[in-house]
Amino acid sequence: MIAQYLMVDNALLEQLQNATDTARTALLESMSEQPQAQLVDLGKLWDIIHFVLTKHSATEPVPDEPVSEFVVGVETFSDSEDADFIAFTPWAHIVEIVDALEQINFKKRLEKVSMKSLREQAIFPPNIWQDKKENLDKELLASYDELLAFYNDALDNGNNIVVSIFWLPPLAKARGFLLQDGQARPQEC
């Protein structure tokens, strides 16, 4: 599963809220392909960032906790079990999230996380937490900083953020790719 964050204005957020699940997914795919799209792709690191911030997997978001909402959004567009996980964070909540994150030293929290704890807590994706901790820490810190800068940009410009968590990017699926070992790979004919 990968997580993507897309910055949208109020008009686009309203359009997404009024769309059907299928139309919403198609609209997000189209928007994320645009060269001017303001997008952050955390890839597979979304769950571990959530774990570092909250000590819980993102599969169990912490209700009314801004640092949890940083990763998974505030409100889902659909309650349907069949719909992709797509949530949003309105600008007013971005203020709370950025304020909460300013009180946190992510690097210090990251230092307290062990590879063993990731395996024991079954943090997504499973079976990849074998790499050296220093390598993972660098990647996580860079991804966290990128997403935090993205939230600050949304805050400064009065925008909202849409969070999409997919098993495989819909465009990759449509182009004949499969998910193998946490990576998109060409589908064999």
pLDDT tens per residue across span 51-108: 999 999 888 899 999 999 999 999 999 887 777 789 999 999 999 999 999 999 999 9
Whole-model pTM: value is 0.83
| Closest of 60, 33, 13, 11 to residue 163, by C-alpha | 13
Start-to-end C-alpha separation, the chain: 23
% of the chain with per-residue pLDDT over 90: 56
> φ, ψ for residue 117 (rounded to 5)?
-65, -35
Q: Using an 8 Å Cβ cutoff, are 185 and 178 in contact?
A: yes
* Distance between CA atoms of residues 74 and 162, nearest Å: 10
Tokens standing for residue 15 = 């359009």
Tokens standing for residue 128 = 């990849």
3-state secondary structure of 81: coil
User: Is residue 31 over pLDDT 50?
Assistant: yes
Could you read off the pLDDT of 111-130 as tens digits, one per residue? 998 888 877 877 866 666 56
Question: What pLDDT does residue 172 have?
Answer: 46
* Distance between CA atoms of residues 114 and 122, nearest Å: 13
